[in-house]
Structure 1
Amino acid sequence: MIHLPPRYDEPLPPAFFPASAPTPFSRADFGADFHWGASAAAYQTEGAWQHQGKGPSIWDDFTRRKGVIRRNEHARVGADFYNRYEEDLDLAHGLGLSDFRFSAAWPRVLPEGTGAVNRRGLDFYDRLVDACLERDLRPWLTLYHWDLPSALQARGGWTNRNVVNWFAEYAQVMARRLGDRVQHWLVLNEPMVFVGAGHLLGVHAPGRRHLGAFLAAAHHATLAQAEGGRVLRAQLPATARIGTTFSCSYLTPQRPGNAYDEAATRRADALLNRLFVEPVLGQGYPVAELPALGWLLDRYQKPGDDQRMAFKFDFWGIQNYTREVVRFSPWLPLQWASLVPAKQRSVPYSDMGWEVYPESLYHMLKQYAAYPNAPQLMITESGSAFPDERQGTRVVDPARRAYLQAAVGQVLRAQREGVDVGGYFAWSLTDNFEWAEGYGPRFGLIHIDYNTQERTVKDSGRWYQEFLGGAPMAQEHTAENVARL
């Protein structure tokens, strides 16, 4: 049985929508002004890590450590987007996308993090923006997608309160150069991830495992999020739209009705889903659910910070991939909760080990839309990693196609229930370097052969293209063929 929008009642297995099943909704159902795109990130795709004056980033440093990245891989070449961006934008245009989200590499623009601008690096983003516009792709520029300049990490990075000023300088440089053409700006990509995974768990750059470092970095990222918004507002035309992005997961207790698991779920929600959102609204940190958070953050807050953390964004980017099941854990300070891995719960899961649960998108859209004075919401990342299979000139990926279709359906479900959601960006346009997982998991609509850098549009990308009403896709979905359409 297929549950169609506006209702899904259960987790969806990877092949929930058979490849032959018609899509039960159309692009027109979302409205003429809905933004349809795909996303990418500088460090994951660009490569050219020492090219034309670029400085090193904390991820360049982190990937040199043995054992922190699967198979000891790195992104010094990545998807070679720096040299192949026109080819990839041709593919994006051929897919029928109206929008393309990418990030700038801070150390490519400011190799030392502050001070002298690397003109050749800034020129690259100038060319990239122009190339998007030439193909009728609206550029969405994310200022920070995790690649802090190494020079700033040497000065404490996100644990140094001066990072707020460093980031403001970088935002100003970008806005002055590209603000005449880029209408959509995003300040930070998923602060909970780069702060938590990088400063508490140590599995991402800069690889720290310290509660104090986590809390300091969290507070300074919250301040930078708002300050970046203010800098952009002051520099950009009145027509520009300014947002930021939040990672999130729909959370449910392992034992519904159990007081310990229910309370643990509320604490996990405060940490994972609310920590960076509520300060933006002027509500401060969610200390009612996490009293220890408030006590520790007092060490880093200064008078007036509550006001400095607030900013009226034009939109929020919601980035959701799965739900998490939570149980009480007496061994984890701060939240006293742990996440139950999908592999232990007899549910379908992706190559990342994440439960396949597209309905999570619906729940998180509803949760964020419920905030008083919430701005418009955008799905700025949504996707899943599944195996690809080559069949002649095709890359067959039925599970990814099924997930993509189901996820889009969940967005429509929320929209039909009154949520102001204005766009959907698939993660990701191409396969890329997936942080600590290296090149193993593939999220892309476009397959990359990392030995040759050949691009091939997958069947999931072909479905997206057909859904968006672009030109008929050739059987051989290479960049050359798409460019001819």
Structure 2
Amino acid sequence: MSVPTRRASSASLAALTEEPSTDSPVPAAALPAVPVEPGPDPEARLGLRFPEGFGWGAATSAYQIEGAARDDGRGPSVWDTFAHTPGRVANGDTGDVAADHYTRYAEDLDLIRGLGLKSYRFSISWPRVQPDGRGTINQRGLDFYRRLVDGLLERGISPMATLYHWDTPQALQDDGGWENRDTAYRFAEYAAAVFGALGDTVPAWLTINEPKTVVQNGYIIGHHAPGIRDEPVAYRVAHHLALAHGLGVQALRATGSASRIGGALNLHPCYAADDDPATLERVRLYDGYENRLYLDPMFKGYYPEDVLADQGPSSPLAQAIRDGDLAIISQPTDILAVQYYTPIYVTTDGGTVQKWPTTEAAWQQVYPRGMYDILTRVSRDYAPASITVTENGLPCPDVIGVDGSVDDAARVSFLRDHLAEAHRAIQDGVPLESYHVWSLMDNFEWEAGYDQRWGLVYVDYPTQRRILKRSATWYRRVISDNLL
């Protein structure tokens, strides 16, 4: 999840490539910055049947749920360092224990089966497998993921594994982290070790999760690990993350595996906030930084010309690109993972405004139509072989009621409305094969600590008790019927 942060630019740009929605948003001034209230019946059936075999799923990431931060040979990551630095994370929270998934994984696998999930997207902790980010492999770490994958397969659930979800080994960060080109090659070695251990038991692999969030939140705003604020350098980081993706794809291909692989990108549809023709120029560049900077090299083998011009020929991004890099980055992939949370409305001065109600995450505007727009846009402009939605959800002020239940009706409404737009995209030819709610369970929500709850399953952190929310039982019925 990423907070949009693009600055204004003085560059003169071509026309907008993505048509803005024809919907008429309510004026921003009329909207409260609070979660949207559910309608009279958030569970009302819409009569939308999904394709046979559609992959209903949910998603998590290692640092957010595993805990066991110092167990069985796991090394420290940048998020361990960041979270333990005073003032970085709300309430001084850390991922040391999180949802204790490392020790409770069997219970959680039964929970996943009980929900009827067909697919489970999780991430592998790089420092659990390779404590220093290079060299010796920690067999106990690999064994955990072997048990997890075997447990999913035994329960009839398809594993989807993400190789990197932001937990760079601290030892690599000490050597420059993603600012250092060498980190991309260390990632490829780590990926090869994981592929060698798990082989074809994982049918779908994702390389780098949300490189844009690493760039924007980790290196521009600085409120994610590693907590750096250096915008020019951030775009060198973007290139090295893209290079790591390509090298990871090559590493899987080298094994001869039949498994599929692709990248996981959080994409924000960008719209004009007003009717001023000059605004379209701003939208075009904003879209360049939000979307095309990550999509174009992966699928077309080049960086957007407008972004390169805005950065300049002597920028860290331009200087980082070497001969042959873009051929590596644009290795053919089998699947694109799309993560959709919010639209962006760009003003004529290059800023942004709110057009829709927001959630407890102030950066997130609730606009289901954006799901349709971004899915159809990437399908039209990039023609990926297949698409999966690997994250979509919202935080709600969930509490346990007097009867022991958690009534998150707003989450039900949100998911229903976004799934309806995903269904519309499928009807219009988008090759969407699966959808994963963010998240399976409440967890450590990065700089927000445990203040935000995003899960289908409530986690009572003092006891680690799991409680199905209303959204979980609703989602279970949707999956069972394959019907929204």
Instruction: Identify if the C-alpha distance between structure 1 residues 272 and 135 changes in structure 2 by more than 3 Å, giving closer, same or farther.
Output: same
Distance between the aligned counterparts of 1:273 and 1:369, measured in 2?
Answer: 13
Match of 2:345 in 1: 325
1:143 CA drift (Å) = 0.1
Match of 2:386 in 1: 376
Amino acid at match of 2:329: M
Match of 1:349 among 348, 358, 374: 358
% same residue: 39
Match of 2:151 among 113, 131, 156: 131
1:183 has 2:203 as partner:
yes
Match of 2:30 in 1: none
Amino acid at match of 2:474: W
Match of 2:263 in 1: 244
Distance between the aligned counterparts of 1:152 and 1:384, measured in 2?
Answer: 32
Distance between the aligned counterparts of 1:442 and 1:128, measured in 2?
Answer: 24
Amino acid at match of 1:426: V
Instruction: Identify if the C-alpha distance between structure 1 residues 135 and 17 changes in structure 2 by more than 3 Å, giving closer, same or farther.
Output: farther
Q: 1:151-187 deviations in whole A, cap 9, x for unaligned?
A: 0001111011111210010000000000131111001
Q: 1:419-451 deviations in whole A, cap 9, x for unaligned?
A: 111110000000001111111111100000111
Distance between the aligned counterparts of 2:162 and 2:43, measured in 1?
Answer: 36
Match of 1:450 in 2: 461
1:251 CA drift (Å) = 1.4
Question: CA RMSD, aligned part only?
Answer: 1.9
1:276 has 2:294 as partner:
yes
**Worse overlay, 458-467 or 82-91:** 82-91
Distance between the aligned counterparts of 1:371 and 1:231, measured in 2?
Answer: 27
1:142 is paired with a residue whose SS is strand
1:465 CA drift (Å) = 0.4
Which residues of 2 match residues 42-81 of structure 1 at below 5 A?
Answer: 42-81=62-101
Match of 1:360 among 362, 370, 378: 370
1:294 CA drift (Å) = 5.2
Distance between the aligned counterparts of 1:313 and 1:55, measured in 2?
Answer: 31
Match of 1:93 in 2: 113
1:339 has 2:329 as partner:
no
Match of 2:246 among 217, 226, 230: 226
Instruction: Identify if the C-alpha distance between structure 1 residues 11 and 432 changes in structure 2 by more than 3 Å, giving closer, same or farther.
Output: farther
Match of 2:431 in 1: 420
1:277 CA drift (Å) = 1.0
1:328 CA drift (Å) = 4.1
Distance between the aligned counterparts of 1:352 and 1:236, measured in 2?
Answer: 42
Distance between the aligned counterparts of 1:180 and 1:436, measured in 2?
Answer: 35
Instruction: Identify if the C-alpha distance between structure 1 residues 383 and 183 changes in structure 2 by more than 3 Å, giving closer, same or farther.
Output: same
Match of 1:292 in 2: 310
1:422 is paired with a residue whose SS is strand
1:401 has 2:412 as partner:
yes
Match of 1:19 among 22, 34, 41: 41
Match of 2:178 among 158, 172, 178: 158
Match of 1:483 in 2: none
Which residues of 2 match residues 81-120 of structure 1 at below 5 A?
Answer: 81-120=101-140
**Worse overlay, 15-24 or 271-280:** 15-24
Contact 2:288 2:306 in 1 (8 A): no
Distance between the aligned counterparts of 1:20 and 1:204, measured in 2?
Answer: 34
Which residues of 2 match residues 27-42 of structure 1 at below 5 A?
Answer: 29-42=49-62
1:10 CA drift (Å) = 6.2
Q: 1:70-129 deviations in whole A, cap 9, x for unaligned?
A: 112111101111011111111111111111000000000000101011111111101111
Distance between the aligned counterparts of 1:442 and 1:264, measured in 2?
Answer: 34
Amino acid at match of 2:44: P
Match of 1:441 among 432, 439, 452: 452
Match of 2:477 in 1: 466
Amino acid at match of 2:269: Y
Contact 1:11 1:357 in 2 (8 A): no
Which structure exhibits the higher relative contact order, with contacts defined as CA atoms closer than 8 Å and separated by 6 or more residues?
Answer: 2
Match of 2:216 in 1: 196
5+ long unaligned stretches in structure 2: 1-20, 27-34
Distance between the aligned counterparts of 1:400 and 1:303, measured in 2?
Answer: 47
Contact 1:25 1:409 in 2 (8 A): no
1:264 has 2:282 as partner:
yes
**Worse overlay, 285-294 or 404-413:** 285-294
Distance between the aligned counterparts of 1:442 and 1:201, measured in 2?
Answer: 23
Amino acid at match of 1:348: P
Q: 1:284-321 deviations in whole A, cap 9, x for unaligned?
A: 11123551235222211112222222111101000001
Instruction: Identify if the C-alpha distance between structure 1 residues 382 and 21 changes in structure 2 by more than 3 Å, giving closer, same or farther.
Output: closer
Contact 2:43 2:412 in 1 (8 A): no
Q: With structure 2 as the length reference, what TM-score do the two structures score? A: 0.89
Q: 1:176-231 deviations in whole A, cap 9, x for unaligned?
A: 00013111100110001112211121111001111232022111111111111111
